[in-house]
Amino acid sequence: MPDGSLLLLVPTTSYRLDDFRSAAERLGVPLLLGSDLCHRIEDAFGGVPDQISLDYRHPERAADRIAEAAAGRAVRGVVPTSDATAVIGALAAERLGLPWNPPEAARRAGDKHAQRTALRDAGLPVPAFSLHDLSSDPERAAASVPYPCVLKPLALSASRGVIRADDPAGFVAAWRRIAKLLSDTRAERRERSSEREGSVLVEAFVPGAEVALEGLLRGGALEVLAHFDKPDPLDGPFFEETLYVTPSRHLPAVQAEVARLVGEGARALGLREGPVHAEARLSPSGPVILEIAARSIGGLCSRTLRFGAGLTLEEVLVAHAMGIPLDGVRRESRASGVMMLPIPRRGVLHGVSGLDEARAVPGVVDVVVTVPEGRLVVPLPEGDSYLGFLFAKGENPEEVEASLREGHRRLAFDIRAPLPVRR
């Protein structure tokens, strides 16, 4: 059993609590859990004594709280699971004397504008971009940007609030829609501080297929764990991710170039240790970096990955953080993939049918519905979740993609308009 415990930082909105708990148990690693609402962690873990309630809006205070809670006990590693916890984890590691990413590097990676600036200044390919204050005149801003372009609010994560505009009228409409979304969701956002709350990043739209890279930094060197293709085109007006399939079907030289750029990008951001999840577009002139995050892949997507003798991604991350030797972390030879089940329309989920039929599709491994019945579901760009996840394995990526699409075709979601509110 490893000497000491692991600090695991998990938002209450994360799907990955069980997967990390199972990984720690299999490796014999005691957990110290940090989250924004600890009663939710108790619900998920069935009662865990070693946990800390943190205020994610104030990373410095959260790190101080961790240092206090860790006094007198041996915390040997840290694993953050989101952009916000990446900053807190870096600050906590600094206070505890653990090797991890410098806090400024984690902040830079978690800030869309700061990341773009650092990568551009390092000479790496990123979309042309500009930063705007949403309190300013949208029509004036619309006259100053190239088209097509993509608007991204800094205060939101993933693809929430991300909208493509093809002309000034579309730009102004997207601007106002984002402003309303930020106003409507201000009270619910616990993971973000108020910095740049009203800012929007405007980027030139980059055509081409989108890919993802899952990696692990060891002393600043990037170890590629998986290359993912995203077979569905992500051309807007919204950017809901659906399919992730590995291994990639793009040429080895293209994959190598993506890995090279991500490695150089991580160095430009100052990242040195731990997981990296990167996104890139394969433009006609070559790969363009969209994001390098100091965290692993989100949702339940990590369940598509197995390494060595069946290790999960969570086991790899826990082992790395605790200094447990892992020789030859190589992805399994079979192809695998996941479909993040999209929300087709706004309404209340009343049920899901076709689960057994979907699981009967050759190659489909499982279907997990993560939204409980009776919950209001909202599609992008206002929504912030998926209906669930569908997993498949096969001898090649083509088989996996076909299994995912057929499995999804057999599912039916009963989503009804919410009842009017009585006044």
Q: Are 79 and 20 in contact (CB under 8 A)?
A: yes
DSSP letters spanning 103-142:
HHHHHHHH-HHHHHHHHHHTT-----EEEEETTS-HHHHH
b/e per residue 218-235 (b: at least 16 CB within 10 A): eeeebebbbbbbbbbebe
Specify the pLDDT at position 187. 63
Tally DSSP H helices, then E strands, for the chain.
12, 21
CA distance 147 to 323: 48
pLDDT computed for residue 190 by the predictor: 47
| Beta carbons within 10 angstroms of residue 395's beta carbon | 11
Alpha-carbon dihedral sign for residues 388, 393, 394, 398: positive
DSSP 187: G
CA 359, 362, 366, 371 dihedral sign is negative
Number of residues that make up the chain: 423
Q: How many CB atoms lie within 10 A of CB 70?
A: 18
User: Are residues 402 and 420 in contact, defined by beta-carbon separation less than 8 angstroms?
Assistant: no
In 38-195, alpha helices (H): 38-45, 59-70, 83-96, 103-110, 112-121, 138-142, 168-185
Position 2 scores a pLDDT of 65
How many Å apart are CA 337 and CA 246, to the nearest integer? 6
Q: Which residues of the chain have pLDDT under 70?
A: 1-2, 37-49, 187-196, 328, 421-423
In the prediction, which pLDDT does 11 show? Answer: 83
Q: What is the pLDDT of residue 92?
A: 96
Q: How far apart are CA 125 and CA 287, in angstroms?
A: 7
pLDDT for 39: 47
d(CA 65, CA 241): 36
For 150-168, give one letter per residue: b (16+ CB within 10 A) or e.
bbbbbbbbbbbbbbbbeee
Max CA pair span of the chain: 64
Question: What's the pLDDT at 423?
Answer: 60
At 38 the pLDDT is 52
What is the CA angle 303-381-241, rounded to 5? 30
The domains found in the chain, sorted by start residue, are 5-108 (3.40.50.20), 128-204 (3.30.1490.20), 334-423 (3.90.1170.50)
DSSP annotation of 421? P
